[in-house]
Structure 1
Amino acid sequence: MQKSVLAQMLSGVLMLPALSAATVLAEDSLALGVEEMIITGVRDDRKSSGATGLDMGIYETPQSLTIIDSTVIDDFALSDINALLKMTTGINVDSTETDRTYYNARGFDITSMHIDGIGMPFGSLVVGDVDTALYEKVEVIRGSNGLITGLGNPSGTINYVRKRPTNEFTGSVKLTGGSWDNRRAELDVSTPLTSTGSWAARGVLVAQEKDSWLDHYNNERQLGYLVVDGQLTDDVTLAVGYSRQDNNSEGVLWGAVPVIYSNGEQADYDVATSTTMDWTYWDTLTDETFVELGWEINQNWRLTASAMHTDYEEHSEVFYIYWNEGLDADTGLGLLSYPGKFDDEKENLILDANLSGRFMAWGLEHQLQLGVSSADSDSQSYAHDALSGFVAMPAFPGWTGAEVERPIWDTPYQSAHQDIRLDRIYGSLLLAVSDNINLILGLNMVDYSNEGVSYGVPTDSQEDGSSPYIGFTWELADSLNLYASYSDIYQPQYVLGEDLQSLGSAEGKSYELGLKKSFANNALVTLALFRTEQSNLEEFKEYGDGDGIDDTDYSDDFDYSIYRGIDVESQGVELEVAGSITDQISVQAGYTYLELEDPNGDDARTFIPRNSAKLLLTWNPSAVPDLAMGVSTRWQDEVYFTSGYGRIAQDSYAVVGGYARYQVTDNFTLNVNLDNLTDDKYFSSVKYEQAYYAAPRSINVSASVSF
């Protein structure tokens, strides 16, 4: 399948010279004095509205904000969102399984993920690899997301900013190969469609296939993206886009490897160790369509309406390992099997319209945004009971993946259904109190409802309310901003409590105080003090059937995932440096210190590091202008999980990587990327009592041609 996709990509490249004629026509039209259309300026100035919904840069935003752009993504080979977020200040990536990942910031799971500034909380769990090839940049806003979501939690928001057409014809092909038989091909082409450049298109294609350091695991993914934007009238613009990502994994982990013995001793295995069977798979398919209509009312005001529709499918046959009395350290016995087959479907529709602009009052310029949005998410889940495959497993480790044959599956039944509706009215206002003081005010009014059932238990809930936001920036001296912000917010939770009733929402508050210093070379230093409070936050307790009896076999203890609500407070400090340090050196680096406690003052959520640091450094030596080199480093201190048999701990560790890029000709570039140079051995997560080892040392080589 990959060969056919790659062949299509290469055949497309052969057609590109014909497309460049549009660029020539555009240049000729401009030379003759044809008036440049508004859309050109819109493309050039396209940017996200960040944390407040207002037109503010990082320096003016009263929150911590990190932007990873496409140049950094390409240089450091951050081809999926997990790799990117691992290098983002204040973000922790918990890969609990090969194909399910959690992200957290400031002690809490990130539940809000937006595209081009619109979205709704889709939950804290991400399934499959999310490819970064179709994004121009990724913004990570730490702290409260109330203004841009209406609900969520005070951890932060990830905002993906799609690539859009450029004003001139451009294109590139990139081929990559490396460790574990990694093979990847990328094509990215943008071209004007009319002689004036008033209409343009951009397309992205990606095909990748790779094996893994883990036994039995491999992954294939294909990505296609097309967007067309243009000008309907002198004042009205239209953008229409479609993307499709197909992600297929085999030999997957559902759960992970038992890493503690029944005697309390922590196990130590080879990094390749897995508990999967060779018939397992986990496939996801995402189709996304968006339409964006913009009206430039005048030079100061713009009305934007957008719609985004997403169809998502997930299919899996998986294999879980559990125990009743634990894993025996001497014999390797005690593990039991639990196979599962699941099919999930989800359809999301998000509509948004907002008016934004600037106005003069009291001799100063101010900003205002007013908007309405409506989001609907309808999901269906189906389960297939296994009619075989429940056995006592042989001694572990040393499995071949053939110990349990693929089960016979029963007829599927609907295990869960959710219909979530979120309507909101929102607004934000920037008041210029003086030339150096800005006050930011915001309000969300939300009406939320959920009609659902999970394994026969209703999860219905309905809420309405408002979330206020207040912040200010005060330029104490030239390029030195003091800022502060506050917001309260709540997060609906679609889980069952200990009484097998809906756990209800978590409620939170977020406070941040900081300094931002901007330098002439565009470097920005941010120092932030933050405090976050959460009440009734979901915490996994156990699997069960609601009878409170620990059965001696698999029979019905896995009917439900049961959660309890906990109260947690976090506070800490973040320091980040981003931008050019010299003409040859640029950096994206940060350090986070975190305190995370329950109401008794005890450490909470101990799988999250209390100290972490990230570094992406690039050097372009003036003596060799065609050469660029970079270093990536991430470090975190000890984390642990307390199981029924004792503590599972991951000592502090650092992962060092880097790249070298050489511009062979004007259009041809070679890249070498290395990761985990010191070949450190560490767990990818200790969020639960099962874990697996992260990737050892790896190398990838890329060749890029631009045209």
Structure 2
Amino acid sequence: MINKRLFALSPLVLAMHVHAQNVESDTDKTETADPDDIEVIRIVESRIQRVSSGATGLGLDSFDTPQSLSIIEQDTISNYNLSDINSLFKQVTGINIDQTETDRTYFNARGFDITSMHVDGSGIPFGDIFVGDLDTAIYDKVEFIRGSNGLITGLGNPSGTVNYVRKRPTNDTEASVDFTLGRWANMRTVADVSTPLTDSGSWAARAVVVHQEKESWLNLYENDRTVLYGVIDGQLSDDVTLTFGYTYQDNNSDGVTWGAVPLIYSDGTLLSADTSTTTAMDWTYWDTLNKNAFAELSWYITDDLNYTSKLNYIRYEDDSELFYTYSYSGVGVDSETQLGLYGYPGKFTSDDKTLIWDNTLQGSFEAWGREHTFNLGVSLADSDTSDYDYGALSGFDAMPAMLSWTGTEVSRPEWDDPYQAGYTDVTLNRFYGAVQLAVTDNLDFVLGASFVDYENEGESWDVSTSTTENGSSPYIGFTWEAIEDLNIYGSYSDIYQPQYYLDEDLQPLGSAEGRSYELGVKKLFADNFLLSVAVFRTEQENLYEFVGYGDGDGVDDDDYSDDFDYALYRGVSVESNGVEVEVSGNLTREISVQGGFTALTMDDEDGDEARTFIPRRTLKLFADYSPQWQEKLNMGVSLRWQSETYLDTDYGRITQDSYALIGGYVNYAFNDKISFSLNLDNITNEKYYSSVRTDQSFYGSPTNYSLTMRWDY
């Protein structure tokens, strides 16, 4: 069978193995190894051999993981200028995003919302919508695990999990600076420095600093962000290593949208406007601040047993002044006069504190004449959130003709004193384990379970959202190497997801329950070129579906006063079935590719199409070319295509036709230190909606370009 990197769970074993090889090759120089070298080699090799725990927590590589796994490495992120997670997610096989507002985004896979994002394997579900614009400069790679994720999250839709892998110190002194100039006054600088702190290399540090300022194709919209990241790792003793660090991201957006432009008029005709059209006022803003202090302790108990303890403290702050537009039910916006919209200003702040403590015991053991691997874990998490609302004292006026707005139609309101609109106190304790059993030389089983104790004490606008969950999620998987370098695999997991939504009676909607099945084939070719083909089935019951806004009395009021007191939902059952094909690796010595095709169907309990805003077919592709005749030159092309999507409303159907976006880059290295890159996106200037998840949206980016100069030390 292919080498499964079983010892990736124990860097000590790898370090001793490399050390032994070095000693063997130098027997003519010395008879015995210096014991002091063991400490040095251990941490040095640990840096080289870091392997993510992936989908199962067992450190399996892509070939041996019994479900779909896409890994986007830092080289790809840098080459294609994927500087934020929105631009990155758009290019990943099977992943879709819905940008219904400038600063809030939904992510989905296999038809269901992604609710779990981890950093270095630690995290808790964040809900269904992501606020802000997370920078990618501090990550070595980003992993996308599609399908069942209960084993590593305990909670979550059967869509998938994202795992960000932070950059760590390197063994040698390295430094780089990237300076980017782009369309819409985009200016971005990234500095990345890593250096050993001791002569032996047993301690090292790394720092990343990012600052970016940019405008947008959307009128009024601007964004600037600053990112600071520092990390130190090293050896406390022969058997114990320590890593600690801190991340800081300050993201500030002006001219933001809360909601967006209505896509359909009351007579059923669709909006036709410039790509720059927005409903923002010039005083609106949305600022977010993310701070994360973390520490990781690893204890190599024996050559086959490793204990890791991770502590993460996360502080998130949110401050916004927003402007929403709406029309009365059954009236809508007139297509000739552009009248019918009303203003609704809002000012909100929130503060979230999260503490996560993860403990895992990983190792290998021998039984029945074979070697097996396992991991056991305990994760304790607590998250407290407070939300404050400031009532607007003006701004609830009838708006002028929509397409003539300049952003000055409604002045910034005076705000009332803040009051606590909601709070949550979430406790999530998990106990989990998995084992990889080598049944034969060619057949492995992966068995696992996660046991969850979940409690949420919360309130939203004087209505309780409290809920308690206790349960377990089993995981069953197998890989069978039917012939050399060809794995047949399968996996199953059931999951449940507590939901914070209220039904039409202002009662908690209750948990969604789901199951995920996957069966596939993975073929490894020369040069580690991997072809994966998967069929999947996903089932969800009591999945939230938006019904509308109201105050819970069932009466359609004639003024704004309580139209938006609550967002109301109902539970629906949805099934998703599909097939996925993915490729990654080197086709030739000069050409490498990464990408895939996804096709799925989604039906509700009545057999009708469900969640039609999600494309049924998508194609994502990166193709890179590094010509041997010119080693200083490399280039690449990106492709993103999706099929038609639509949304049925009271006024008719909103349709986004299928479209394709083509981008690419050209990079030329003048010498070992200086290189230049030209990046292009949406080369054909395709016009498309950013989403049809709701009846409000904005247009996606037209043709974009940027030039980057990079200096390497």
TM tier, shorter chain?
Answer: over 0.9
1:261 corresponds to which letter in structure 2?
Y
Counterpart-to-counterpart distance in 1, 2:439 and 2:611:
41
Counterpart-to-counterpart distance in 2, 1:134 and 1:607:
32
Residues 262-341 of structure 1 mapped to structure 2, 5 A cutoff: 262-324=266-328, 325-341=331-347
1:153 deviation in Å? 1.1
From the superposition, tell whether residues 233 and 35 of structure 1 become closer, same or farther in structure 2 (CA, over 3 Å).
closer
- From 129, 132, 138, the equivalent of 1:125 is 129
Q: How many residues align?
A: 678
- From 169, 174, 186, the equivalent of 1:170 is 174
**Residue 506 of structure 2 aligns with which residue?**
500
| Mean CA deviation greater in 383-392 or 547-556 | 547-556
Counterpart-to-counterpart distance in 2, 1:180 and 1:130:
20
After superposition, give the CA deviation of every residue in 1:358-401 in whole Å (9 maximum; x if it has no partner): 11112211001011111111000000010101100001101110
List alignment gaps of at least 5 residues for structure 1: 1-28
**Residue 93 of structure 1 aligns with which residue?**
97
Matched, 1:392 2:398: yes
**Residue 635 of structure 2 aligns with which residue?**
629
1:123 deviation in Å? 1.1
1:33 deviation in Å? 6.8
After superposition, give the CA deviation of every residue in 1:29-87 in whole Å (9 maximum; x if it has no partner): 99x97863311111111121100000210000000000000000000000000111100
**Residue 212 of structure 1 aligns with which residue?**
216
**Residue 183 of structure 1 aligns with which residue?**
187
Counterpart-to-counterpart distance in 1, 2:98 and 2:182:
25
Secondary structure, counterpart of 2:404 in structure 1: coil
2:450 corresponds to which letter in structure 1?
N
The 8 Å contact of residues 34 and 196 in structure 1, kept in 2 or not, is answered as no
**Residue 110 of structure 2 aligns with which residue?**
106
**Residue 690 of structure 1 aligns with which residue?**
696
1:481 corresponds to which letter in structure 2?
N
Counterpart-to-counterpart distance in 2, 1:61 and 1:217:
42
1:98 corresponds to which letter in structure 2?
T
Counterpart-to-counterpart distance in 1, 2:245 and 2:256:
32
List alignment gaps of at least 5 residues for structure 2: 1-32
Residues 480-559 of structure 1 mapped to structure 2, 5 A cutoff: 480-559=486-565
**Percent pairwise identity:** 58
Secondary structure, counterpart of 2:702 in structure 1: coil
Counterpart-to-counterpart distance in 2, 1:689 and 1:548:
22
The 8 Å contact of residues 51 and 61 in structure 1, kept in 2 or not, is answered as yes
1:496 corresponds to which letter in structure 2?
L
Secondary structure, counterpart of 1:411 in structure 2: strand
Counterpart-to-counterpart distance in 2, 1:517 and 1:549:
59
Counterpart-to-counterpart distance in 2, 1:691 and 1:101:
12
The 8 Å contact of residues 292 and 307 in structure 1, kept in 2 or not, is answered as yes
1:267 deviation in Å? 1.1
**Residue 18 of structure 2 aligns with which residue?**
none
**Residue 406 of structure 1 aligns with which residue?**
412
From the superposition, tell whether residues 96 and 498 of structure 1 become closer, same or farther in structure 2 (CA, over 3 Å).
same
After superposition, give the CA deviation of every residue in 1:460-519 in whole Å (9 maximum; x if it has no partner): 110101100000000000000000000000001111111101111100000000000011
The 8 Å contact of residues 602 and 609 in structure 2, kept in 1 or not, is answered as yes
Secondary structure, counterpart of 2:151 in structure 1: helix
Q: With structure 1 as the length reference, what TM-score do the two structures score?
A: 0.95
After superposition, give the CA deviation of every residue in 1:309-336 in whole Å (9 maximum; x if it has no partner): 1000000000000001111011111110
Matched, 1:461 2:470: no
After superposition, give the CA deviation of every residue in 1:208-260 in whole Å (9 maximum; x if it has no partner): 00000000000000000000000000110000010000000000010000110
**Residue 573 of structure 1 aligns with which residue?**
579
Secondary structure, counterpart of 1:357 in structure 2: strand
Counterpart-to-counterpart distance in 2, 1:99 and 1:366:
46
**Residue 353 of structure 2 aligns with which residue?**
347
Secondary structure, counterpart of 2:44 in structure 1: helix
Counterpart-to-counterpart distance in 2, 1:33 and 1:55:
27
The 8 Å contact of residues 39 and 235 in structure 2, kept in 1 or not, is answered as no
**Residue 586 of structure 1 aligns with which residue?**
592
The 8 Å contact of residues 82 and 93 in structure 1, kept in 2 or not, is answered as yes
Matched, 1:680 2:686: yes
Counterpart-to-counterpart distance in 2, 1:122 and 1:589:
27
Matched, 1:664 2:670: yes
The 8 Å contact of residues 52 and 148 in structure 1, kept in 2 or not, is answered as yes
After superposition, give the CA deviation of every residue in 1:684-706 in whole Å (9 maximum; x if it has no partner): 00000101000000110000000
Secondary structure, counterpart of 1:397 in structure 2: helix
Counterpart-to-counterpart distance in 1, 2:342 and 2:333:
10
Secondary structure, counterpart of 1:71 in structure 2: helix
Counterpart-to-counterpart distance in 2, 1:451 and 1:514:
41
Counterpart-to-counterpart distance in 1, 2:335 and 2:467:
46
The 8 Å contact of residues 543 and 557 in structure 1, kept in 2 or not, is answered as yes
After superposition, give the CA deviation of every residue in 1:162-221 in whole Å (9 maximum; x if it has no partner): 000001100100000010010000000000001100000000000000000000000000
1:170 corresponds to which letter in structure 2?
E
1:245 corresponds to which letter in structure 2?
Q
From the superposition, tell whether residues 233 and 271 of structure 1 become closer, same or farther in structure 2 (CA, over 3 Å).
same
**Residue 159 of structure 1 aligns with which residue?**
163
CA RMSD of aligned residues (A): 1.1
**Residue 232 of structure 1 aligns with which residue?**
236
Matched, 1:45 2:49: yes
The 8 Å contact of residues 213 and 223 in structure 2, kept in 1 or not, is answered as yes
Counterpart-to-counterpart distance in 2, 1:626 and 1:37:
34
1:118 deviation in Å? 1.2
- From 621, 624, 632, the equivalent of 1:618 is 624
- From 141, 151, 154, the equivalent of 1:150 is 154
The 8 Å contact of residues 294 and 302 in structure 1, kept in 2 or not, is answered as yes
Counterpart-to-counterpart distance in 2, 1:35 and 1:682:
57
- From 417, 426, 433, the equivalent of 2:423 is 417
Counterpart-to-counterpart distance in 1, 2:380 and 2:648:
42
The 8 Å contact of residues 143 and 163 in structure 2, kept in 1 or not, is answered as yes
The 8 Å contact of residues 544 and 560 in structure 1, kept in 2 or not, is answered as yes
Counterpart-to-counterpart distance in 2, 1:469 and 1:33:
42
Residues 234-273 of structure 1 mapped to structure 2, 5 A cutoff: 234-273=238-277
Counterpart-to-counterpart distance in 2, 1:571 and 1:338:
40
1:303 deviation in Å? 0.2
The 8 Å contact of residues 39 and 237 in structure 2, kept in 1 or not, is answered as no
**Residue 700 of structure 1 aligns with which residue?**
706
The 8 Å contact of residues 39 and 202 in structure 2, kept in 1 or not, is answered as no
Residues 56-75 of structure 1 mapped to structure 2, 5 A cutoff: 56-75=60-79
Counterpart-to-counterpart distance in 2, 1:33 and 1:296:
17
Matched, 1:201 2:205: yes
- From 643, 649, 654, the equivalent of 2:655 is 649
The 8 Å contact of residues 202 and 228 in structure 1, kept in 2 or not, is answered as yes
